[in-house]
Amino acid sequence: MAQQRYLAQVDMGKLVSLCKRRGLVFPGSEIYGGLGSTWDYGPLGVELKRNVKEAWWRATVHRRDDVVGLDAAILMHPRTWEASGHAEGFADPLMECTSCNQRFRTDDPRLAAPIKFGPQATLYEMPRRTCPDCGGVGTLTDPRMFNLMFKTFVGPVEDSASQAWLRPETAQGIFVNFASVLAATRLKLPFGIAQIGKSFRNEITPGNFIFRTREFEQMELEYFVKPGTDDQWLDYWLKERLNWYLGLGLRQENLRLREHGKDELAHYAKACSDVEYRFPWGWAELEGIANRTDFDLKRHSDFSGQDLSYFDQETGERYTPYVIEPSGGVDRTVLALLVDAYDEEPDPTGKEKEVRTVLRFHPDIAPVKVAVLPLSRNEKLVPTARQVYATVRQRFMAQYDDAQSIGRRYRRQDEVGTPLCVTVDFQTVEQDNQVTIRHRDTMAQVRVPIPELVPALEEQLAAMGQTSGPTA
């Protein structure tokens, strides 16, 4: 059972401002006025992001026998993108719906009239059109020749021979390494290759904070299977991936699976479903889980001239494996966790006007697990508090804070979702060598002897993990 939530709807403005104030996420290049939709993760944001990536890596690689990891280069041979279809597929004049972000080629038959597109100024005077996908709710941007990939040059000469692209998905690094991984590991089908890394897309309409940006991080698994078993493996991964998000503590009522219609499928996909989260602006994709068939391995085999087939020793057959691809976004998961965790709790006594802002993170995800707080900066308290901090930080990501009143410091830790605070007071140093552990969600306080503190914290974090959602 998840902790009771007081807030019906999260105000994105408040969340973005909390993220900036408390060092979770800053606007990118802010001292220069910012650079459209780039965001920087601050001291606590980077911890949160690492926790997400580590939870994914643990579940996807470390706890499985059938998946290995990879960290391929962002810059890849330009032929990669010809083989994958990206070079050609993203180079059309496109119009984008400002509401649902669906892009339309200008010759799409669903658009009422053909649109001419060219350099002449007159063409830009054409009226905006409504989106055929959202039933006329959204408007379409002007058409632009648009290649989603960021262009760059490898080496000192900027000519077509040195042109390269920043990868728009990490997946292709996995496909081009398929044969090397197979040779190095001698894995047998079914098996997967997992990768976490940055991807880049020159999105026409980035927005909604870190939801859609031009530089983002993906967590991708390419799970290779025998053709004919692909449908059942797709079902398997849909369940696995939904459960992973539940395990991070995301509320069940805010998660769902949505199957793509045939007209929504990417050029390589036979079937696809999205894990969606209910964001304040509506349901939106966290992750796509696609059946990419043998499209990518076959195309890379054709374009490179290398054999990317698999020899099945049990049956004596040789074939190109199909691939099931769960592909999630780190930044979108971080945003869903922030939205899901954000709460404003009225003062239970009704005496104080101020509400308590709390991020109710699952303890595995919380950027700081334990804060050590001396009651004051009194010289009698500080040495013991410092000693307690030194012990606690050996085991947990911890923070020491002695600025301002103890009440304010509790509030500061609540705001960044620290599950437990440890307070050192005069009773600790003068009487009983015990400290107080204070809980973020219930604000309950218990005293424990210092020598028993670390196991007590472990136990209480585990217990909180049960009430913040299934364990990650």
Q: Which residues bind ligand GAP (CB under 6 A)?
A: 169, 171, 201, 203, 212-213, 216, 218, 220, 285-288, 325, 327-329, 331-332
- Measured from the CB atom, is 138 or 329 closer to ligand GAP? 329
**Closest separation between CB of residue 17 and ligand GAP, Å?**
21
Q: What is the DSSP string of 131-188?
A: -TTTTT-SBBPPPEEE--SPEEESSS--SGGGEEEB-S-SHHHHHHTHHHHHHHH---
Q: Where are the alpha helices (DSSP H) in 224-308?
A: 230-247, 295-304
Burial class (CB in 10 A: 0-12, 13-18, 19+), 372: buried
DSSP strand E in 161-297: where? 163-165, 191-200, 215-225, 255-259, 271-279, 282-293
**Closest separation between CB of residue 173 and ligand GAP, Å?**
11
- Measured from the CB atom, is 165 or 396 closer to ligand GAP? 165
Which single residue brings its beta carbon nearest to ligand GAP?
A: 329
Q: How far apart are CA 231 and CA 454, in angstroms?
A: 47
- Measured from the CB atom, is 213 or 399 closer to ligand GAP? 213
Q: Tell which residue, 169, 167, 159, 122, has the closest CA to residue 142.
A: 122
- Measured from the CB atom, is 325 or 343 closer to ligand GAP? 325
208: tokens are 């909604």
- Measured from the CB atom, is 292 or 360 closer to ligand GAP? 292
**Closest separation between CB of residue 258 and ligand GAP, Å?**
12
- Measured from the CB atom, is 218 or 399 closer to ligand GAP? 218
The answer to whether 384 touches 429, Cβ cutoff 8 Å, is: yes
**Closest separation between CB of residue 331 and ligand GAP, Å?**
5
- Measured from the CB atom, is 220 or 414 closer to ligand GAP? 220
> 10 Å Cβ neighbour count for 251?
17
**Closest separation between CB of residue 4 and ligand GAP, Å?**
29
**Closest separation between CB of residue 323 and ligand GAP, Å?**
10
Q: What is the DSSP string of 374-430?
A: ESSS-TTTHHHHHHHHHHHHHHS-EEE--SS-HHHHHHHHHHTT-SEEEEE-HHIII
318: tokens are 């040789």
Q: How far apart are CA 319 and CA 226, in angstroms?
A: 8
Q: How far apart are CA 400 and CA 386, in angstroms?
A: 8
279: tokens are 């964001």
- Measured from the CB atom, is 288 or 363 closer to ligand GAP? 288
The answer to whether 139 touches 203, Cβ cutoff 8 Å, is: no
**Closest separation between CB of residue 131 and ligand GAP, Å?**
19
**Closest separation between CB of residue 441 and ligand GAP, Å?**
29
The answer to whether 169 touches 161, Cβ cutoff 8 Å, is: no
The answer to whether 273 touches 257, Cβ cutoff 8 Å, is: yes
| Cis preceding linkage at 143, omega within 30 | no
- Measured from the CB atom, is 145 or 266 closer to ligand GAP? 266
**Closest separation between CB of residue 469 and ligand GAP, Å?**
20
Cα–chain-centroid distance for residue 386? 35
**Closest separation between CB of residue 181 and ligand GAP, Å?**
17
149: tokens are 């990939």
- Measured from the CB atom, is 37 or 301 closer to ligand GAP? 37
Give the pairing of strands 370-374 and 420-424.
parallel
